[in-house]
Every structure is written in structure tokens, then in C-alpha cells.
């Protein structure tokens, strides 16, 4: 037990970390309790609350070495770099360490008075035969000051990031009975907290648990499928969050999380096209490119990083003004942690989900299939399987409930409802949230009504799955990702296999059409009706989708105040489908679509009358769609959309470069080249 005075602690806080004060009373209390060293300590504090200091400061003051267990090498590296920049003797032993450095570290650890203060290792390393003797030696010589378990929720099978190797830490703990243990996490509901204490055999620990509520974060949910152009909407949100339109500099940065590598690429591309500097970050990139993206974002050269969830763990950037989830998170606990990367400096920041029912359905499918696979492997069901589904359901409920978002999160973690005070969309304007829900549910009803097949579990056609079983597949939900170090994964081949299976099933589900050579099938989130139909020769899905987006823009621009809650997406989908059904050739189809588009534009409030003047209904006296945007911050104004209109190009001129993904060799206009279709068709198609 140590008798370090408060003065010594505050001096060390200033000297080693450069802070005049503790960030909070609880941070100070934890540090003092750890420094005292007579008890194990459990800390559950929100993301960004300053948990690292709770063990780093005591470690600096302690005479020996503190062993820190952390789940990821990348996370460890960030901590090590940070501490090295503060001149604190720290190192990490991991599989990637060059032999020479490794020898030096072991030499220091074996010396009579090691210089190292903190030693970071993964749970796998701590259990490895090469490390065990060193650890035993340190224990025997009484040189181990603390055992620190960071991200302690990984120890719990109820936790959203369970790591089987964390379970072995209980045994490790038993081998060092006299060493105080400190477990820290940001995301632990009651059952996970209990599991941590049990698994790590913490002895009557001092618990410091603070509510998860962070008043500086504004949470909201936007239904992506209701948006005429989600990218324009995202762009507007980013502009607002970073105050780009006010010309302010040093305004911070943001993260957009996507589930797949492809969506990272396409969202980053779209944002760049709209004028925001954005870069993708995912495991499919070369390490150098990934590091470059991260560095440029850290330095503020790139404002938005569009990443899979592999990005962010350990990234301590204070001025993240927004975290967007373009795709659904796999659980509410993960969502809390990922969104919590916003506003670590305590300033107002936004956390937004672009919810999509299809996206949810897809993730549901993946999660349940994965559970089924695990159950098949172990031959039995587990309570934790249920917990995974409960956590996912909580995520769904968060999006589709009429309730305060902060309250939903707080209750999930076993806290009381906080005083949100308008820090979520529901508390700001419940009517708008309700309107969006109603629109969303009518959209999903329409989509369901279109299917002539009875749905199987979770909306899928049961007979379509291999063997007709209720198997769901997919072991990780950030598909296409490299595995986290030591994660419980069986390899990428199976991932790919499930990916292909999933795509195949979705295609079958959409159209039951046998694929013809050369026909590129619709993506999983394609909104078209009869998307897989190849009834019109040479008409591609891409061309149809493009027509649909033109229709959507036109329908949206056509809306008047009294029909602003009309479902523009469904209207456009139905018109496109009607035209598709009636047309016999690709050219006739396109001409019919353009005719409908120009009709809408001519007659709508945002359109022009025949004499070329703005329609009188566009006057500021009327409730235009831009004032609607202010009222319902889930929707993009028609004017924003019209400013996105494609540039007029003439026959013989090259169209603007297509995004990489579109360069398939296939003509966007369905294989029709300039000269065959009139000029007007090339403008838009």
C-alpha cells in the first residue's frame, strides 16, 4: 500500500501529463484509489472521459511496472506513442516486434531495477509460452505494481466485443494475488459489469461507475430510404456540422462509418464530388494508403474519414464534430462506443444514423446466420446468443421508437433517464420523428406488398437458403474486414462464401430470374421494382436506377406544402415501374422517363412554367420545400437537388468521368451511344 499525498499526485499530473486539474472529480477519485493500492478497482466511465489517465498516472508514481492488457495492437500502439511523446518509459511486446527490440525489452525486464513503467500486451501475448516466464519472474521479484485490463467488456460473453482470450485473464490474475487489478470499460451494462468482476476474480473491488449520458452529443436518426438523394443530405449535414458554409476554419472533422469496403469507397467518392475532402479507410487498402488516410485526417488535411468500424479504436482526436453511421451498427453497445468518438473535447457534436430498413434486414440476416453457425459448431445454444440478438434489437428499437435517444441508451446500460434537454431529435421535435416513422413504415409496407412470395424468418424466403434451413451465416458484421488480431474467426474464405451466398439469395429474392450472360444484377439495396427483370434488351439496372433518381428528384421538386409528407420514393418507384412495364425498347423507356421528368418539372412548385419563368408557387410566401427542410431535418430541399443537376453535354462530347465502380465497360445509358439517342437523353442518361 502506498502513502502518496494528494500534492504528489497533482504535481505528477502536471509534470508528466501537462494537466493542471483532473478532468472530473471521479477521475481524481479513481486515481487516488488506484494509487492507494489496497483494493481492486472497477471503472465504467463514458467514452472520452479520461479513463487512460486513471491507470497511467498511478503507473508513473508506482515503484514497479504496470502490465496493461489491451485488445488490439493498433490501440496499444496509439497509447505507446502518446506516452512516449510524454517521455514516459513505456513499451509493448507483440508478435510484430523486431527481435532486437524484443531482446532489449526482456533485458530491461530482467534487470534488478527495470526502467519501464508501463508494459502493454494483448491477451494472446500474455498467455504465450515466450512471455509467461518473464511475467512469473517479475511477480516473484515483486516488481509488478498493477495489472490493468483495458476495454474490460471484452472479457464478458455478454459484451459486444467478446474476446475468448480475455477469459484466460482470470487465471493470470490468480497467479498474481498480491497485485492490485484495475479493470476499465466504457460500455458495460449491469450483466457485463458483473461478468467482468467474476471473470477477473476482482476481490470486493471499489467500483466507479458513472452514467453513460454525454450532454454534448446530439443524437438523431434519419431514414435514408425517404431521402431523394442521401448523399446530398449527408453533404448538407457535414457542411452544417463543420460550419463549412460560414467559411470557418479549424472547425473540426468527422467520421462516417460504413459496413463494407465498397460503401466506404462510394461514400467517400460522392462526398469528394460534392466538394468535401473525404477519404476511405478499410482493410482492403494497402497499409500505406490506410496510414496516409488516417494521418491526413488526424492533421486536418482531410475533413471526413469514411471507414469501416476497424477505424477509431484508440484514435484520440478531440475535435470530431460528428460521427455518422451510414449503415446500421450491430448493437446498441457498439453504437454507443463508436458514436462516442465525437466530441471528446466536450464541445457540442452530432451522432447520426442514416437508418435503412433494408440495411437492418440484411444485418439481421447476417447476425442470425452467424449465431446459427456457431450453434451448429458447438452443438448447443447459449444464453449469449440471445444477448447478441437482444443487443441488436435494442439498436433497431433505438432507431424506430418514439422516444428520447439518450434515454434509450442510458436505460440499455442500466442508468436512469437523463435530462436530455433537447440533445436528440425526439426531444427537440417529437412530431417530426413521428412523421418520419409513419413515412418509413408506409414505405416498408409498400415494399412488402410488392412481394408475391411469403416471407420466411426475418423477411427472407426460407426455401432460398441452402437446404431450406434457418441458417444465417457471416461471422463478422464489418464484412470484408480483416480480422482483428486474435479474433475468433475461421478465415476469409468462409466470409467470401457467405458474402456470395447472401448476394445470390438477395438476387433470387428480388426477381427469381435466372441470370443471363453479361447482365449485371441489382445490388442488395436496389430500390427498383422487378429489378432483376431483363425484359427490355440492353437496358441495364444502372440505367434504370439513374432514371429512378431523376424521377425522384422531379417528384420531390414537384411537391407542394400540402403533400410534403407524400412518399416521393414510392411514387417515383411506381412511375418507373409503370414505364418499365410498358416499354419495349431501351430508347423508348428512356424517352418515356424523360417525358415524365419534364412534366413534373414544368408543373411543380420548384419548376418553370412554359415561358421559362419561375412558377409563382415558388414564392417565399408559400411554404416551399426548403422551409420544409428547416422543419424536418431529414429531408433535402428541392433547390439543393436542382443545384445537383448534371451538366448539359452534347453528342460526341465525353460525359464526365464515372466513379471507379461504374467503369464496368457498360454504358450508363444501357449501351446506347451518342448519335442513336437524341441529345436530350445524353444529358441525363
Ligand X SMILES: Nc1ncnc2c1ncn2[C@@H]1O[C@H](COP(=O)(O)OP(=O)(O)OP(=O)(O)O)[C@@H](O)[C@H]1O
Kindly list the residues in this chain that would bind ligand X in the complex (CB under 6 A): 19, 22-23, 45, 47-53, 186, 316, 318, 340, 344
- Pick 83 or 357: Cβ nearer ligand X: 83
Order of strands across the sheet with 181-185? 90-92, 118-121, 65-69, 144-149, 181-185, 41-44, 206-209
**Helix, strand, or coil (residue 674):** strand
| Bridge partners of residue 223, in order along the sequence | 355
Q: Are 34 and 207 in contact (CB under 8 A)?
A: no
Torsion of CA 637, 640, 644, 648, to 10 degrees: 100
What is the distance of C-alpha 282 from the center of its chain? Answer: 12
CB of 349 to ligand X, least distance (A): 13
In the complex, minimum distance from the CB of residue 58 to ligand X, in angstroms, rounded to a whole number: 13
CA 535/CA 519 separation, integer angstroms: 11
Q: Give least dist CB 527 to ligand X, A.
A: 36
Separation between Cα atoms, residue 568 and residue 228, nearest integer Å: 7
3-state secondary structure of 395: helix
Contacts of 217 (CB under 8 A, 6+ apart): 339, 340, 342, 343, 349, 350, 351, 423
In the block, residue with C-alpha cell 424536418: 632
- State the minimum distance, in angstroms, from the CB of residue 233 to ligand X: 28
Residue with Cβ nearer ligand X (253 or 638): 253
CB of 338 to ligand X, least distance (A): 10
Task: Write down the least CB distance from residue 92 to ligand X, Å.
Answer: 17
Q: Where are the alpha helices (DSSP H) in 97-244?
A: 99-110, 123-126, 132-140, 164-167, 169-174, 190-199, 230-241
* Closer residue to ligand X in complex, CB, 34/433: 34
Sheet with 278-281, strands from edge to edge, namely 217-223, 349-355, 320-325, 253-257, 304-307, 278-281
Question: Between residues 52 and 552, which has the closer beta carbon with respect to ligand X?
Answer: 52
Nearer to ligand X, 208 or 474 (CB): 208
Q: What distance in Å separates the CA atoms of residue 653 and residue 494, rounded to the nearest whole number?
A: 46
Give the shortest CB-210-to-ligand X separation in angstroms.
10
Closest distance between ligand X and the C-beta of residue 175, in Å? Answer: 27
CB of 17 to ligand X, least distance (A): 7
Q: Which of 49, 67 has the CB closer to ligand X? A: 49
Backbone angles phi, psi at 499, to 5 degrees: -60, -45
DSSP 210: -
Place of cell 447478441: 388
Closer by beta carbon to ligand X, 347 or else 651: 347
CB of 519 to ligand X, least distance (A): 47
What number of other Cβ atoms are within 10 A of residue 563's Cβ? 11
Integer CA distances (angstroms), 205 to 9, 174, 193, in order:
22, 15, 12
Our CB check for ligand X shows the closer of 334 and 570 to be: 334
| Pick 75 or 366: Cβ nearer ligand X | 75
Which residue lies nearer to ligand X by CB, 49 or 531?
A: 49
The minimum distance between CB 485 and ligand X, in angstroms, equals 18
Q: Which of 57, 179, 46, 175 is nearest to 118 (CA)?
A: 57
Choose between 82 and 608: whose C-beta lies nearer to ligand X. Answer: 82
β-pairing, 90-92 vs 65-69, is: unpaired
Phi, psi (deg, nearest 5) at residue 71: -75, -25
Amino acid at each position: 500500500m502506498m502513502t502518496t499525498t494528494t500534492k504528489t499526485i497533482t504535481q505528477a499530473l502536471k509534470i508528466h501529463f501537462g494537466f493542471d486539474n483532473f478532468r472530473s472529480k471521479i477521475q481524481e477519485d479513481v486515481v487516488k484509489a488506484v494509487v492507494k493500492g489496497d483494493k481492486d478497482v472497477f471503472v465504467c466511465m463514458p467514452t472520452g472521459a479520461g479513463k487512460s489517465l486513471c491507470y497511467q498516472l498511478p503507473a508513473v508514481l508506482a515503484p514497479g511496472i504496470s502490465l496493461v492488457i489491451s485488445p488490439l495492437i493498433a490501440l496499444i500502439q496509439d497509447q505507446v506513442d502518446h506516452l512516449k511523446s510524454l517521455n514516459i518509459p513505456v513499451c509493448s511486446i507483440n508478435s510484430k516486434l523486431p527481435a532486437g527490440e524484443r531482446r532489449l525489452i526482456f533485458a530491461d525486464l530482467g534487470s534488478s531495477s527495470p526502467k519501464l513503467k508501463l508494459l502493454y500486451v494483448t491477451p494472446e501475448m500474455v498467455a504465450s509460452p515466450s512471455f509467461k516466464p518473464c511475467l512469473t519472474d517479475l511477480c516473484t521479484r515483486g516488481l509488478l505494481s498493477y495489472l490493468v485490463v483495458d476495454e474490460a467488456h471484452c472479457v464478458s460473453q455478454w459484451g459486444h466485443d467478446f474476446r475468448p482470450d480475455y477469459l484466460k485473464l482470470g487465471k493470470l490474475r490468480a497467479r498474481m494475488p498480491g497485485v492490485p487489478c484495475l479493470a476499465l470499460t466504457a460500455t458495460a451494462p449491469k450483466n457485463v459489469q458483473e461478468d467482468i468482476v467474476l471473470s477477473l476474480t476482482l476481490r470486493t473491488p471499489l467500483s466507479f461507475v458513472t452514467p453513460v449520458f454525454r450532454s454534448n452529443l446530439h443524437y438523431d436518426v434519419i431514414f435514408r430510404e425517404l431521402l431523394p438523394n442521401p448523399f446530398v443530405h449527408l453533404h448538407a449535414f457535414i457542411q452544417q456540422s463543420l460550419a463549412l458554409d460560414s467559411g470557418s476554419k479549424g472547425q473540426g472533422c468527422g467520421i462516417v462509418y460504413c459496413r463494407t469496403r465498397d460503401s466506404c469507397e462510394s461514400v467517400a467518392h460522392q462526398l469528394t464530388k460534392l466538394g468535401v475532402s473525404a477519404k476511405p479507410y478499410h482493410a482492403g487498402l494497402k497499409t500505406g494508403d490506410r496510414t496516409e488516410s488516417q494521418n491526413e485526417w488526424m492533421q486536418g488535411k482531410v475533413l471526413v474519414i469514411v471507414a469501416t468500424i476497424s477505424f477509431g479504436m484508440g484514435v484520440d482526436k478531440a475535435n470530431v464534430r460528428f460521427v455518422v453511421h451510414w449503415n446500421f451498427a450491430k448493437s446498441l453497445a457498439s453504437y454507443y462506443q463508436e458514436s462516442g468518438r465525437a466530441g471528446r473535447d466536450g464541445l457540442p457534436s452530432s451522432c447520426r444514423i442514416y437508418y435503412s430498413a433494408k440495411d437492418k434486414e440484411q444485418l439481421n440476416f447476417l447476425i442470425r446466420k452467424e449465431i446459427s453457425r456457431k450453434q451448429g459448431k458447438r452443438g448447443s445454444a447459449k444464453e449469449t446468443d440471445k444477448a447478441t440478438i437482444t443487443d441488436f434489437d435494442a439498436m433497431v428499437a433505438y432507431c424506430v421508437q418514439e422516444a428520447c435517444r439518450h434515454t434509450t441508451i442510458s436505460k440499455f446500460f442500466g442508468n436512469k433517464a437523463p435530462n436530455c434537454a433537447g440533445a436528440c431529435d425526439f426531444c427537440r421535435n417529437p412530431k417530426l420523428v413521428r412523421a418520419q416513422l409513419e413515412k418509413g413504415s408506409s414505405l416498408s409496407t409498400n415494399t412488402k406488398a410488392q412481394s408475391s412470395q411469403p416471407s420466411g424468418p426475418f423477411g427472407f424466403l426460407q426455401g432460398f437458403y441452402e437446404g431450406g434451413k434457418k441458417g444465417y451465416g457471416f461471422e463478422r458484421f464489418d464484412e470484408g474486414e480483416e480480422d482483428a488480431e486474435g479474433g475468433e474467426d475461421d478465415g476469409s474464405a468462409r466470409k467470401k462464401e457467405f458474402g456470395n451466398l447472401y448476394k445470390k439469395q438477395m438476387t433470387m429474392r428480388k426477381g427469381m430470374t435466372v441470370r443471363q450472360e453479361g447482365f449485371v444484377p441489382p445490388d442488395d439495396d436496389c430500390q427498383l421494382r422487378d429489378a432483376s427483370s431483363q425484359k427490355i434488351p440492353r437496358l441495364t439496372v444502372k440505367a434504370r436506377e439513374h432514371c429512378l433518381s431523376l424521377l425522384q428528384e422531379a417528384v420531390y421538386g414537384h411537391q407542394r406544402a400540402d403533400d410534403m409528407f407524400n412518399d416521393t420514393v414510392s411514387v417515383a418507384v411506381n412511375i418507373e415501374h409503370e414505364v418499365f412495364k410498358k416499354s419495349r425498347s431501351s430508347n423508348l423507356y428512356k424517352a418515356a422517363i424523360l417525358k415524365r421528368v419534364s412534366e413534373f418539372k414544368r408543373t411543380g412548385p420548384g419548376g418553370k412554367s412554359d415561358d421559362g419563368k419561375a412558377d409563382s408557387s415558388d414564392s417565399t410566401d408559400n411554404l416551399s420545400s426548403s422551409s420544409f427542410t428547416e422543419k424536418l431535418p431529414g429531408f433535402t430541399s428541392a433547390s439543393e437537388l436542382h443545384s445537383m443537376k448534371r451538366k448539359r453535354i452534347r453528342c460526341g462530347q465525353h460525359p464526365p468521368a464515372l466513379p471507379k465502380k461504374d467503369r464496368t465497360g457498360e454504358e450508363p445509358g444501357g449501351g446506347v451511344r451518342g448519335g442513336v439517342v437524341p441529345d436530350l437523353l445524353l444529358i441525363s442518361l
